[in-house]
Amino acid sequence: MTAPAAAETRCAQAWDVLGTVLDPEVPALSVRDLGIVRDVIEHDDRLEVVLTPTYSGCPATEVIEHDVLAAIDLAGLGPAYVTLQRAPAWTTDWISADGRRKLSEYGIAPPGPASADGTVPIRFFGRRVDAVACPRCGSSNTERLSAFGSTACKAMYRCVSCREPFEHFKPI
């Protein structure tokens, strides 16, 4: 993260600050890496930060709002407020390339491309559903253990090659 130059606008500085606010559930990623910051707008004295929720019931949403405002205040860029924008709906395709690399280093297999938003047929599957590469050894000989993981956005997998369990960030 570069130090804000004097000439930088308040919005640009806020974007820099947002690059340091981590997702409380996946602390390898900043809210910018996650792709949930849709806009930063300056209204006279106040900054508006537009966020989009990842999942409808994600309990981290309120913590993220709080952390974002605290970080902006701490950087002396306040006062600010957060608005939530639902449309267009967040997709894992908005996780940055840098974010994907960080996820993998953190031991979470990053999501593949989200399926097109049309009608999806019901598929019945066993444990081997998608070719998810193991973030530890790179093998794609992996199997799904559980459709849901420690948070709504992840599933549990196991690598058949290196025998390590890992989490997979589900593409949506």
Partner 1 sequence: MQASIAIESTPAVQYLLRLGDTCLILGQRIAEWSGHAPILEEDIALSNMALDLIGQARAVLTHAGRIEGLGHDEDQLAFLRDEKDYRNLTLVELPRGDFAFTVLRNAMVATLMKLLWERLRDSSDAELAGIAGKAVKEARYHQQHAADWVVRLGDGTEESRRRIEAALADLWRYTPEMFESDAVDEAAAAAGLGPRWSELEAPWRAEMRTILDEAALVEPKEAAFRSTGKKGVHTEHMGYILAEMQHLQRSFPGGVW
Binding site for partner 1 (CB under 8 A): 53, 55-59, 85-90, 119-120, 122-125, 145-152, 156, 170, 172
- 9 vs 148, which CB is nearer to partner 1? 148
- 32 vs 170, which CB is nearer to partner 1? 170
Contacts by residues 127-133 (CB-CB < 8 Å, ≥ 24 positions apart): 132/157, 132/168, 133/109
Q: Which of 76, 172, 48, 77 is nearest to 120 (CA)?
A: 172
Rounded Cα–Cα distance for residues 76 and 70 (Å): 10
CB of 138 to partner 1, least distance (A): 25
CB of 79 to partner 1, least distance (A): 23
CB of 156 to partner 1, least distance (A): 7
CB of 37 to partner 1, least distance (A): 17
- 60 vs 72, which CB is nearer to partner 1? 60
- 4 vs 171, which CB is nearer to partner 1? 171
CB of 106 to partner 1, least distance (A): 20
In DSSP notation, 16-70 reads HHHTTPBPSSSTTSBTTTTT-EEEEEEETTEEEEEE--SSTT-THHHHHHHHHHH
- 62 vs 98, which CB is nearer to partner 1? 62
Q: Within 10 A of 103 (CB to CB), how many other CB atoms are there?
A: 23
Q: Which of 172, 162, 52, 31 is nearest to 107 (CA)?
A: 162
